[in-house]
Structure 1
Amino acid sequence: MTPSSTTGSHITDPAPIDLRDPGELLAATPHLLGFEPSDSVVVIGHRGATGTRIGNVVRADLPSVGEETDLARQLLGPLLHQSVAVTVAIVGGRPEGAVGPPAADVVAAVGEVFESVGLPLLHALWVPKIRAGAPWRCYEDSCCAGHLPDPSSTVMAAVSAHAGLVTHGSRAAMERQLHPVASEVLARRAAMLRRRVRDGLRDDAASLRRGRAAVRTVLARTWRGTPLLSDTEVVELAVALSIPEVRDACLATALPVGGAGAMTAERLWLLLTKHTPAPERAQPATLLAYSAYVRGEGALAGMALDVALKADPGHVLSQLLRQALQHGLPPEKLVGLARSCDGGPIWTPPEDGESPNRSSPTDPTARPTGPPDDAG
């Protein structure tokens, strides 16, 4: 049993949250995760000398009876590095007609496991759903209660919107954007790739130049808007990304973190993740995961790594990134991976004042909006 989502904050360095108002913190959870949780346990790490800034955040489905301690131990790993204390929030989980907050055994297990390693539990909160006006309350003090503010009007919502990020209505909604295109399209492209392999893939200077040029051309088109990719282009890009030097140069497009160029590249990696057949799909999915990870969106990074490892279980870089995510390695620790790439930049955004497409990197057609629904 593993947490269904392990994530750093959706915002790389969010504004301080007033911990005297638990309702504000609960209302911010969709923006911290990148999606609205439901029937979930969410553990929020607090960092800084006074614990008033948000660190890593982890979420999992509520466990079955008897699995509470095992889940608490798994939730602990990503929060050990930077946290000085934690808040646990249970979202949903109360059966019809029940009285009082549900999942008290989960809260107790989290408190016991985290406090055993010196991470005190600052708050234990419950809310039935993340909606404006929803009632919330604390576990230990029945007088500690209130109603949620509008999640779309919190400080975290404003920071998220300013960054051009989408907060999805559920984990499933975030995951759906990675679903591949029609199987017959993928089968056609897979056949083309097999023919390319039979003809022999060369690893020489000419192939490297051709691969870099193919990526650079499509990145320039992505800057202007979401490109329509032909079968030939998808195959050409898949071949290009199979060249280690090209793939490594593409890692560097994630820098500077959150910049217009990085967001443009991330949109392309998402598009290619949907349009490329397995096992070649692992390459763009890993680039998407890396870009999402270094800008602090661990949920998307985890989903992209799931896709990459399903496409190619032996993909080494995906395995390394998965380990980093599971252990809560801070995003800034991974920035050096892109900085260590040899060679010049594979592409840089235009400097002539032309404006990039401002769509979210996690959905080529989306704008920052609120939620649908599903198990988060």
Structure 2
Amino acid sequence: MTQSDRRFTPQPFSSDVASGLASEPEQRVTLRGPAELADALPYLLGYHPDDSIVVIAVHGEHGRFGGRIRLGIPSVPQEWPEAARQVAECLLAGSEAEGDRPTGAVLYLCQDARSGEEPSAVPVRLRPLAQELRAACVALDMPVFEALCLSGGRFWSFCCDDPRCCPPEGIELRPPGSSPMAAAATYAGIRVQGTLKELAARLAPLAPHRAPLQEQALDTAAADLLPRMLDVSAKEIVRARTLELAAHLLGRFSSSPPAAGRCPSEVDVSDDARISEAEAAALIVGLQDRITRDRAAEWMEGVDAQPALRLWRALGRRCVGAFTEYAAAPLTLAGWVSWSTGDETNARVALSAALEADPECVFARLLHSACNSGLDPEPLRGTLRGQRAAHGGRPEACRGAGAGPGPRPGPEA
């Protein structure tokens, strides 16, 4: 479940979109009716929220959009009443924490038709969930001004049964990029990065046919490195060697930037081929040490940022089998780099995935909360810059700590 803080303002549902240029005045977009509300959703989130409940707080007489909650639609209808209650309470609590109680809400249910199901059957099937959500919001004095179902490129309103304006077959969504909201988002530098499933797939474990070799390598690395990481006399050596390997792989990624125009999945396949199972295993295990992970977080900006992001994503995909919990470290680093470079959408996806891997990961929880609260990452960047300067620059500067156990950088795969 995520709560975002980007502000949009309508009339009655207008939307304030920052232009991205400090000298430019705030731009206001007026969203008129269900069609424009449906079109606006991916721009409000930065992605198409497939299989999702999305509830957005509305404030004041002009209907300014505020915080929002996204939750996957529970597959068991018996869970819908509790999910509805939690979503409404979370939206209210988050809004009040920012000092602005909502006067209402806008609701979206987004889900594709099941196999053999007509798109028009989706809103019928999800109507009880919409009713639960509307009731939960009303119980907290947040009336739902509009409730929409989005499926298969069409939308339906749960608030209108008049077939003259809301036909049973739904209304086709506008072509991408053709609305005032799309124009405003383009001007502001806001882009839709695909569907939520596509973003999450970039962090998913390797395909089953590749997982056994990687799990075997992780077994070997864990048996070799974990005892040394707990040994006071050896842990500094393991830290140094882990960061040396990370720096070596970062250089490998830096020297091979993705070709222009390649789709994300192609980039990921290529990146996976750049790391051997042994290299990935040694680095994943080494990053389970908090100090090592915090040093790796220094690769957060400038020329280091994108190669580091590709490396952390690739390592997250290598955490398979019994080692899925180990993904929290590289996925947290991926979320941190995304947030540090201004990509809040992918930051939230990566940090949510990190917390799914290990709900007790404190660093992931703190970053997730800070990103969702709209905090500026610059104070943390400043701290890490100071940390980096204190030990002489790039993390691999500590390689002088001495030779010892652990992986040696290998040839590029």
Smaller-chain TM-score range? 0.5 to 0.7
Residue 110 of structure 1: how far off its partner (Å):
2.2
Alignment correspondent of 1:245:
291
Alignment correspondent of 2:136:
113
Residue 88 of structure 1: how far off its partner (Å):
0.4
2:387 match: secondary structure: coil
Distance 1:161 1:329 in 2: 20
Summarize deviations over 1:146-204 as a string: whole Å, max 9, x none.
54212354545954995676313x63x44333232312221332133134327723332
Alignment correspondent of 2:265:
none
Alignment correspondent of 2:388:
344
Q: Does 1:273 find its partner at 2:316?
A: yes
Evaluate the alpha carbon distance shift between residue 161 and residue 263 of structure 1 in structure 2; reply closer, same or farther with a 3 A threshold. Answer: farther
Residue 39 of structure 1: how far off its partner (Å):
5.5
Q: Which amino acid aligns with 1:184?
A: P
Q: Which amino acid aligns with 2:295?
A: A
Q: Which amino acid aligns with 1:106?
A: L
1:178 match: secondary structure: coil
Distance 1:156 1:11 in 2: 16
Summarize deviations over 1:50-94 as a string: whole Å, max 9, x none.
543463341331665554431112213542324734210233589
Alignment correspondent of 2:263:
none
Distance 1:267 1:49 in 2: 45
Distance 2:328 2:74 in 1: 30
Alignment correspondent of 1:125:
148
Q: Which of the residues 3, 8, 16 maps onto 2:4?
A: 8
Higher relative contact order, chain-length normalized (CA < 8 Å, sep 6+): 1
2:68 match: secondary structure: strand
Alignment correspondent of 1:86:
105
Evaluate the alpha carbon distance shift between residue 215 and residue 179 of structure 1 in structure 2; reply closer, same or farther with a 3 A threshold. Answer: same
Q: Which amino acid aligns with 2:148?
A: L
1:234 match: secondary structure: helix
Alignment correspondent of 2:373:
330
Q: Which amino acid aligns with 2:328?
A: A
The answer as to whether partners of 2:5 and 2:67 remain within 8 angstroms in 1 is yes
2:388 match: secondary structure: coil
Q: Which of the residues 192, 209, 232 maps onto 2:220?
A: 192
Evaluate the alpha carbon distance shift between residue 245 and residue 194 of structure 1 in structure 2; reply closer, same or farther with a 3 A threshold. Answer: closer
Alignment correspondent of 2:39:
27
Alignment correspondent of 2:330:
284
2:109 match: secondary structure: strand
Alignment correspondent of 1:234:
280
The answer as to whether partners of 1:78 and 1:329 remain within 8 angstroms in 2 is no
Matches for 1:41-52 after TM superposition, within 5 Å: 41-46=53-58, 50-52=62-64
Distance 1:74 1:162 in 2: 33
1:188 match: secondary structure: helix
Distance 1:64 1:195 in 2: 41
Summarize deviations over 1:8-34 as a string: whole Å, max 9, x none.
379999556533243233234345455
The answer as to whether partners of 1:88 and 1:123 remain within 8 angstroms in 2 is yes
The answer as to whether partners of 2:46 and 2:191 remain within 8 angstroms in 1 is no
Which has the larger Rg? 2
- With normalisation by structure 1, the TM-score equals 0.67
The answer as to whether partners of 1:56 and 1:78 remain within 8 angstroms in 2 is no
Q: Does 1:166 find its partner at 2:193?
A: yes
Distance 1:97 1:239 in 2: 46
1:343 match: secondary structure: helix
1:42 match: secondary structure: strand
Q: Which amino acid aligns with 1:189?
A: A
Evaluate the alpha carbon distance shift between residue 184 and residue 164 of structure 1 in structure 2; reply closer, same or farther with a 3 A threshold. Answer: farther
Q: Which of the residues 231, 235, 245 maps onto 1:203?
A: 235
1:180 match: secondary structure: coil
Q: Does 1:223 find its partner at 2:254?
A: yes
Evaluate the alpha carbon distance shift between residue 22 and residue 336 of structure 1 in structure 2; reply closer, same or farther with a 3 A threshold. Answer: farther
- Looking at secondary structure, tell me which structure has more helix per residue: 2
Evaluate the alpha carbon distance shift between residue 315 and residue 144 of structure 1 in structure 2; reply closer, same or farther with a 3 A threshold. Answer: same
Residue 240 of structure 1: how far off its partner (Å):
4.1
Q: Which amino acid aligns with 1:112?
A: A
Alignment correspondent of 1:139:
159
Q: Which of the residues 54, 60, 80 maps onto 2:72?
A: 60
Distance 1:336 1:212 in 2: 24
Distance 2:304 2:61 in 1: 34
Alignment correspondent of 2:30:
18
Gaps of 5+ in 2: 9-15, 19-27, 96-100, 259-270, 396-413
Distance 2:317 2:187 in 1: 25
**Aligned residue-pair number:** 328
Q: Which amino acid aligns with 2:235?
A: D
Residue 37 of structure 1: how far off its partner (Å):
4.2
Residue 268 of structure 1: how far off its partner (Å):
1.8
Q: CA RMSD in A?
A: 4.3
Distance 1:261 1:161 in 2: 26
2:235 match: secondary structure: coil
Distance 2:319 2:78 in 1: 41
Q: Which of the residues 344, 362, 387 maps onto 1:296?
A: 344
Q: Which amino acid aligns with 1:343?
A: Q
Distance 1:291 1:48 in 2: 35
